[in-house]
Amino acid sequence: MAKVKVKDNSGLAKFNRFLTVVLVILLVATIAIVIFSSPKVAVQENSGEIQDVSVVDPAFKAGTYGGVDFASEEDVVNYYIECYNKT
C-alpha cells in the first residue's frame, strides 16, 4: 500500500492535528471524571451490625395455585413430576 505524503501546512494536516488535540482533551476529561466522581451508592446507617435472621416458609395449605387445585403436598409433587415428564 502506498503512503500518501501530506504537506505539513495543508488543510488536512491542520485538521488532523486539531482532531488529535480534541481527542486528547476528551480522553483526559473522561479519565478525570471517572477517577474523581464518587460512586452513588446508598449506605445503611447500621451497616456495621450483622443480623442473623432465619426465614421459614409457611407450611403447605390446600387450595388452588396457578389455576391448579392441590389438596395435599403429594398432589403438588405429582403435578411437577407430570410437567417434567412432558418436557
SS3 content of the chain, % helix, strand, coil (to 5): 45, 5, 45
Q: Render pLDDT for 10-67 as a digit per residue (tens, 0 to 9).
A: 888 889 999 999 999 999 999 999 888 877 776 666 656 677 788 877 788 889 988 9
Q: Could you tell me the three cell numbers for 54?
A: 432465619
Residue 13 domain flag: yes
Could you identify the residue written with the cell 407450611? 59
- E strand segments, the chain: 63-65, 68-70
Residue 63 domain flag: yes
What's the pLDDT at 1?
59
Residue 20 domain flag: yes
Look up the domain containing 33 and give its range. 8-37
If one counts the domains in the chain, the total is 2
Distance CA 63, CA 75 (A): 11
